[in-house]
Structure 1
């Protein structure tokens, strides 16, 4: 069937879901353009919809809120039943689409104009290529065939009026999870009707990408948009599984997509930030968008800085406790521009006098040294010691002198301090680039040095929460945070508590009106306290305010970080491959986890490995005989008297 008339009658059935019932700005932007190309829009929403969201959606057509059951598949099914066959066949085309896609980057009129003249019974925007096996276990074919992705399937009258179409939906079982949604609907819809003689196609030409990727819309979305005028992109691009990205790419897909949208199109990328920061783990966003800023220490745009410092009020807050670190502290603070207001806190009048002596030559707009209570350490310095002035500033750098007294040798702690300071206040050029980075990225709310990973800090990577998740979660509930937080997902936190931030992004934390009595008395524990919870709550507070946290480092330290991580991964790979584990990263992890989990303890892991080695180096019969002897020995608990028939 071809659609020849520009007056074609179309119905769009738009599925909407948001866990909080909020309609973000990308939705009306999408529907504004869609409305120009269809006769009617019917919106079906699973779960809840707040009053503001309902009012927005009602402007586009009838809006039905139903129980959050059956995913998008049963939402479509309910909408089709709502209209009924007799009414639906009055339309030339029924479009089933959902809010997992964003756009349009190009007007949908282009897509309809391209597809109208094609003799098809149903069509979509993009295609997912065949997987020769069934990863979910629900496909009746035993594999996933080529199929139109279900975020947009347009069904023409020739299909909708058929008995086959209605039987398909009448026999659709209830969908209980994502895997079933793919296995029982998305991946089989196309083949089901193609096998019955119905013709199909997609608007984005992508057959030549079959060997490049089975999922081009996820693995090379920028190419589809820039080279093939694909009008949409997946919201999931920015929080997709890291392992899947790295099994197929080097991890560039989402950041390339974002940069292209921002720099080469009229699409407002703030729509992306709004929905991402409200709904998804910041760790996933940071990873997929590669939000680590590597900034030069030897070149900067000073003219740009002059502009920034003219319109941004900047402060530095530093807590000083160790008098023997005064000289190094002064050197780092000297990296701030002369227009900076500097606040230094300490715990005694004696130390204040020593600080005044060292810091008196500091070129700055204002220098104020405050004596605070010795309770809460650097955390209370920031949240109590300067709370009366902090909201006056657009941008603040917070640092403190640092010793890790619990760690030996002292070089380990000193290197941690070096990592924090160098990637916060390396030199004036680096600081200039940090300030410019905040100015150029209005959603950037916090910039922290990378996580420590040397010596005893090595296991910090992978265990960023330590024993602090519960106390952080309690604090999050106390201050009313709603952004996602999971023990399985690490915080993008300034471990070491040195960072740059926008005070407006921290307003919720300051609204608690902290005082020194809120913090534990000295001596303090080295982990698991309120201080460590606050250290980890910063990025969530920033995210709640609609900003993101990110990592920043100097170009010189990036070389150190890369070489260290390369060394770690190289050693990990050598051991893994030696014992036949691999080759893909996620396969290695699954195999190691399986071995460790199966054995239950490190001692049993070693025993398991020895058994595997014995199997390879001795004959099977001898191995089984040894195993039999071992079992008898364990059963008798008398190793000297064990005998097996036929053995001496």
Structure 2
């Protein structure tokens, strides 16, 4: 088959990651030619990588999303090549392949069809965007990976389709003006189509199987690709069409059941995505120290581990000596008080006890860097009391009322949590040795009353964090919502090589400057892993996890019970929408707002989420023309809006 590929590529930094090259390398044998259409630009190294597998290359402005890249690529290859049997369009939004591609291509070549895709959107849901004339989203193939055959290529209808394509300026328009319309349009013209992923039992439970059941499609359908968004979109709504939910299951399956190098995934995701987004999407919780299997070469593994214990009190030293199994690890105990130094030498005789006045892991790690820097792994066990400064006024009120024991109880809980999560360093080291996509293990954060939620860092704190990272030579995307993963308590287990940015004498002063409400160094371990192209995982125990689960459930039940009602606001998204609307409504009384903003906030408080989105769509459609394709393939520019909108 004379198959030509059109590959659409975009990267905000112009970097071509290795997962892209692996994708092209595996696709290359199935094509007589591959055209790479680059939206935006590409660096010199990336261009050299792409030229190895792409016969032609077009660099165009970053306009029209992948849809317009496909359009330009289509007309280019049609003019360049003769007697084309199939043009396959694909982009860089997929990871893989995970299985031999001849399975997919041989299966689809046998089908008497005119166009096909890797996957399909099942459809039938209400078209809330309202940017075309479909009341409900039709079933359609998804344009991340799709192909057209000779009948369509040379019919003239396909050319006309592209020439009549409306201008595309955002993601919703890309879906509404092309992906949602394409399958229905050409089906009505008599073209036959199919998808590699066939209908299955999962269709009953979702609209978007590739996002809702990717592991199932890998295991049972040998689907060769998955979406990058599986590791970015958080599982807020189980099996919903737009959110993920299987990132953790996916990364485990790919690591354990396939030959695919999962570091190709971690290096791309960590470079392009804020840590809080992919951490929530993965939700990687492991019960590493709960295994009953004896680790082979335990003595050798632990000899590659350094343990640093910061400022333990006497009771903590007792607990460490009773609970922890450090094996042959080099143990360093940093003490400020002489009596605790004496107890440490008695209880943990093989440890090196150091007397000093430093606090904060940057300063201590720098002091010990020559000793711990040669180890492959590091356990940092922070025994310090937590910051006295609080971000929660309610907590201050409690303390002022004389309930200081709450703070002490919390400190004990965090230490207990960390100690038991990393109690066997051999198991932790073995895990990071086998799962190379992970670089840091942190403990499960507490869910007590004063820690029932993660506060976003303030603009001031974010600026301080950026300054601290700049001092380390780290440039990474920080979340626009100013959310980061806070490692409460400060203990962690990691691959030592990710700590290299810390080995600078100037950073100790930076650490002191970066204390604002909370010590920003609590946010550092996941960021250091990200800088090294590694994911962060949680290590915990069944006891701790079950306690957190039921505590969180109780807290959530109490909060949602205030707003939710059995007959109306009885699910998460409606409660969240109403809560936001209520807060916005009350804000109109305290902050200066325009009349338009007041109306907007009031409507958000009063209307359901669905009605509110419909109202937004009416507003958007008033700004310009609304497009749809009629039965015969021509474009209508519908300036009189649908009554149903």
> TM-score normalised to the size of structure 1?
0.82
1:385 to 355, 367, 375: 367
1:313 aligns with 2:305: yes
1:188 aligns with 2:172: no
Mark the structure with the bigger radius of gyration: 1
Residue of structure 1 in register with 2:587 after alignment? 600
- Which fold has the larger relative contact order, with Cα–Cα distance below 8 Å and residues 6 or more apart in sequence? 2
**Displacement of 1:73:** 0.6
1:421-460 to structure 2, matched below 5 A, reads 421-426=415-420, 430-459=424-453
The match for 1:38 is: 31
Q: Name stretches of at least 5 consecutive residues in structure 2 with no aligned partner.
A: 390-395, 592-601, 607-645
Q: Call closer, same or farther: CA 1:58–1:575 in 2, change over 3 Å.
A: same
CA distance in 2, matches of 1:414, 1:516: 27
Between 24-33 and 71-80, report the one with greater CA deviation: 24-33
Q: Tell me which stretches of 4 or more aligned residues in structure 1 moved more than 6 Å.
A: 248-251, 601-604
CA contact (8 A) 2:89 2:147 kept: yes
Conserved 8 A contact 1:319-1:399: no
How far, CA to CA, are the matches of 2:421 and 2:33 in structure 1? 60
Correspondence for 1:570: 557
Distance of 1:304 and 1:487 partners within structure 2: 45
Question: Secondary structure of 2:204's partner?
Answer: coil
1:128/1:186 Cα in 2 relative to 1: closer, same or farther (>3 Å)?
same
Q: What CA distance in whole angstroms lies between the structure 1 residues aligned with 2:425 and 2:589?
A: 46
- Tell me the equivalent position of 1:559: 546
Could you tell me how far 1:83 is from its partner in structure 2?
3.6
The structure 2 residue matched to 1:284, chosen from 277, 282, 286, is 277
Q: How far 1:158 sits from its partner (Å)?
A: 0.8
Change (3 A) 1:432 1:563: farther
Q: Where does residue 591 of structure 1 map in the other structure?
A: 578
What is the aligned partner in structure 1 of residue 317 from structure 2? 329
Q: Superposition pairs for residues 11-410 of structure 1, below 5 Å?
A: 11-60=4-53, 61-84=55-78, 87=80, 90-206=83-199, 208-245=201-238, 247=240, 253-296=246-289, 299=292, 301-303=294-296, 305-310=298-303, 312-320=304-312, 325-332=313-320, 335-347=324-336, 351=337, 353-363=338-348, 365-372=350-357, 377-404=359-386, 408=399, 409-410=403-404
Shift in Å, 1:436:
3.5
CA distance in 1, matches of 2:45, 2:459: 40
User: C-alpha distance in 2, partners of 1:517/1:296?
Assistant: 36
Deviations 1:270-297 (A, max 9, x none): 2222212221232232223221223455
Q: Is the 8 A contact 1:468 1:532 kept in 2?
A: no
**Do the aligned partners of residues 573 and 560 (structure 1) sit closer, same or farther apart at CA in structure 2, a change above 3 Å counting?**
same
CA contact (8 A) 1:314 1:395 kept: yes
Per-residue CA deviation, residues 400-442 of structure 1 (Å, 9 max, x unaligned), is 3333556632322223222322222239854454343333323
Residue 542 of structure 1 corresponds to which residue in structure 2?
Answer: 529
- Give the match's secondary structure for 1:600: helix
User: Does the 8 A contact of 1:16 with 1:43 survive in 2?
Assistant: yes
Give the Å deviation of 1:111: 1.9
**TM-score, normalising length: structure 2:** 0.83
Over the aligned positions, Cα root-mean-square deviation in angstroms equals 3.1
Q: Residue 465 of structure 2: SS of its match in structure 1?
A: helix
**Structure 1 residues 288, 125: CA separation in 2 closer, same or farther (over 3 Å shift)?**
same
